[in-house]
Chain A
Amino acid sequence: MSKVEVFRQHHFVDVDQQHDASWLGMWVFLTTEVMFFGGMFACYFVYRHWYLQAFASASNQLDVVLGGINTAVLICSSFTMALAVHSAETGRRKPLVVFLLLTIVLGLVFLGIKFYEYHTKFVEHLVPGSSFRFEESLARPAEIFFSFYFAMTGMHAVHMIIGVGLLTALSFRARQDRFSPIYHTPVELTGLYWHFVDIVWIFLFPLLYLLGRHL
């Protein structure tokens, strides 16, 4: 049995078929994710259209600097992730571990800043519910804006947390030298997932923080 065959699961004819199947499976999964977030984006657009003034005014309450920093952090994390995949492809174990860990750290920085923002909103009575305070005439639609803000960024954060979990598992396996140029499918697929979660944020940031700021 050749070295390649070790990684083949019993029901595949060869490793190539297994790799192609995993790859396609991840893309199909990401398609479902697009539809999942797409539903929320559609709702957001409907209400933004209905309550333009309130959404602009509520959007101004968000901290665009922290949001901007977070965008930069995520873009950097995508870069380190891409480098991790490259290291796996070229079979360099140490850089692979380092880049995976760097990606984890950047992911955690993002989550830290996000939760700091959530905390600020809580203190400022901008969390939907009985304690919500806002300029009287726009209070109700502004609360809808913040409902979307928390639902969308919250769902994104859940995906980030799952991503950090996956990367942690990968880095342990990478340390044990479980990946090689001929078999590193898990690294590639986690990379795809991580880039997808980044792209979701790339849409969320302008929609929530930037659009209509100067209305």
Chain B
Amino acid sequence: MNVSVIERRKHYLNINYGIRSWLFTTDHKRIAWLYLLSVTLFFFIGGLFATLMRIELMTPQGDLVQAETYNKLFTMHGVTMVFFFLIPSIPAVLGNFLVPMMIGARDLAFPRLNLASWYIFILGGAFTLMAAAAGGVDTGWTFYTPYSSIYSNTHVVLTVVGVFVTGFSSILTGLNFIVTIHKMRAPGMTWFRLPLFIWAHYATSIIFILGTPVIAITLLLVGLERIFRLGIFDPSLGGDPVLFQHLFWFYSHPAVYIMILPAMGVVSELIACFSRKRIFGYSFVAFASLAIAVIGFLVWGHHMFVAGQSVHASMIFSLLSFLVAIPSAIKVFNWTATLYKSSVSYDAPMLYALGFIGLFTMGGLTGLFLASLGIDVHVHDTYFVVAHFHYIMVGGAVMGYLGGIHFWWPKMTGRSYPESWARVAALLIFVGFNLTFFPQFVLGYLGMPRRYHVYPEEFQVLNVMSTAGASILAVGYVLPLLYLIWSLRYGAVAGANPWRARGLEWQTPSPPPTENFDRTPIVTEGAYAYEKDPAEIYTVGKPAHV
């Protein structure tokens, strides 16, 4: 195939041109691109804050930035990465692009709401960046009261408004996914033929719609308390700061599952495709997603073991936190069982998927340490916690995201990325990540507290290792940015199904037409029938244009 073949056919990218055709688009595939560009921007802004922190931590003295500046750095790093990169990354980019395509729909149920959710996201992001530009905020991404609501002299209200506003974009995305998955499936696409990516996004959407409103009202109350001195969370005014923590973690713990569940969905697709096999125990993996979403709502108290919560509550929360490990382990075991005796190929997306399994397992197992009451008291607020959640959020969610971006890049752009560069980047990220964060487990266990910019000299070696790892990690993240942009123009033309995958999204040309499918597909098999020919799995119905 040559370039002119792509050019001649009308698809969603060349159907019309110009900035207006993008800013006013209601095509879910174009909105996915809007999100892709914006979350990439936020990822590198958040990464900049992290870089400054890691440079500061190379020496035990506070020689690069002052304590106040350091507080702002870790706060802005957390706020940007959590609310503006990790939470929207997979759902709003890959989910937006793929949910309708995987179920054989022409678009999400509410295309205009989908576009609105991007504008809301940008508005929230603008508030937060404004706060950063105006001098930043220093409460930590957790906004703990009463520091945030009374004492901090930084731009708390502006930041809180930014996060509040962005929450509505999550809610709208979740609402759109739930309705789309319920009502827009193609003929024959039954619930148990759905790709596991869809199950994962369905579970994520449940958290979006049940959790996000609670953080919205909580942050609203923090803002009101700061402006009007309401006294809801400030003990000196009769309020209860622990109540804030309850409300905050009621959302923010499930928010971790917002980050990891979609990544698990991506990994399920990758593992099946690159081991040319049906996913082992499909329905267990599917229900494990729902179980994680449901149990995830009942574990928030494990963030508050040392916050004065009743011991009995802590014991129950500890037990429930252990329960989350069961569905998570089911997934890990089923993925490895899928790999067993299969013909594995090690293309870049698969490297990310395998990296995900290893790092997520590390992150999950150390999570059990933190769920145990006794050990948590020892390592609470130390680098052990920092390392643990970075294994989940970066080792898990970001690996899943990058694996997914590489896997579906040919579908999104019609071009292949350069495979050998991509493998190098995936390996760099894996090595750099472990070098950055594994020493932090040790640091934390030895007692180095998080959120300090100076530390005793005996911690320096491990901190220098961590910073060295971070610079490798940075190279690993910049590489895909460069070669993916390069591939837009110079990448080889990919064809409809370069991976010979069985999912519905691969049965339409790359890039897909605006209506996704020229004819409505009729599904007769699940998404992982790798032992069959794709032509046996799908037939076509009436034309999409009536």
Contacts and interface: CB of A to CB of B under 8 A. Distances in A.
Contact of A21 (B184, B229, B230): B184
Given A25-B175, A129-B228, A140-B231, A36 B216 contact: yes
A151 B520 CA distance: 49
Interface stretch (B106-114, B310-318, B398-406): B106-114
A32 interface: yes
B218 interface: yes
A40 B175 contact: no
Interface stretch (B119-127, B232-240, B334-342): B232-240
Contact of A24 (B178, B220, B237): B178
A28 B209 contact: yes
Interface in A1-17: 5, 9-13, 17
A39 B175 contact: no
Most chain B beta-carbon contacts within 10 A, residue among A32, A38, A143, A148: A32
Contacts of A37: 217
Interface string A139-169: 0110110011001000000000000000000
B538 to A, nearest CB: 17
B171 A46 contact: no
A49 to B, nearest CB: 11
Given A11-B111, A17-B184, A39-B214, A32 B209 contact: yes
Contacts of B183: 17, 20-21, 24
Interface in A30-59: 31-33, 35-40, 42-43, 46-47, 50-51
A154 B529 CA distance: 55
Most chain B beta-carbon contacts within 10 A, residue among A11, A32, A38, A43: A11
A151 B221 contact: yes
Interface string A119-131: 0000000001100
Contact of B214 (A9, A11, A35, A144): A35
B179 A147 contact: no
A115 interface: no
Contacts of A129: 228-229
Given A25-B110, A147-B230, A151-B221, A33 B238 contact: no
Contacts of B109: 11, 21, 25
A35 B520 contact: no
A39 B243 contact: no
Contacts of B243: 43, 46
Interface string B232-259: 1000011110010001000000000000
Interface residues of B, number: 43
- Which range contains the number of A residues in contact with the other chain? 35 or more
A128 B175 contact: no
A21 B108 CA distance: 10
A42 B239 CA distance: 14
A28 B237 contact: no
Contacts of A140: 231, 237-238
B203 to A, nearest CB: 14
A39 B247 contact: yes
Nearest to B28: A11
A39 B247 CA distance: 7
A107 to B, nearest CB: 23
A185 to B, nearest CB: 12
A29 interface: yes
B217 A36 contact: yes
B247 A128 contact: no
B212 A13 contact: no
A144 B238 contact: yes
Contacts of A148: 232
B210 A35 contact: yes
A11 B171 contact: no
B230 A39 contact: no
A2 B111 CA distance: 24
Contact of B239 (A20, A38, A144): A144
Contacts of B184: 11-12, 17, 21
Given A43-B247, A151-B221, A24 B182 contact: yes
B429 interface: no
Contacts of A12: 106, 184
A36 to B, nearest CB: 4
Interface in B483-540: 515, 520
Given A43-B221, A147-B232, A151-B224, A32 B239 contact: no
Nearest to A40: B217
B213 interface: yes
22 contacts: A5-B546, A11-B109, A13-B520, A21-B182, A21-B183, A24-B179, A24-B182, A25-B110, A29-B175, A32-B171, A35-B211, A35-B214, A36-B214, A39-B213, A43-B243, A46-B243, A128-B230, A143-B238, A144-B231, A144-B237, A144-B239, A147-B232
Which 10 pairs from chain A and chain B are nearest by CB? A36-B213, A11-B107, A39-B217, A35-B213, A147-B230, A11-B106, A21-B109, A21-B183, A140-B238, A39-B214
Given A39-B217, A147-B230, 11 more contacts: A10-B106, A21-B183, A25-B175, A28-B174, A31-B210, A32-B209, A35-B210, A50-B240, A147-B224, A147-B231, A151-B230
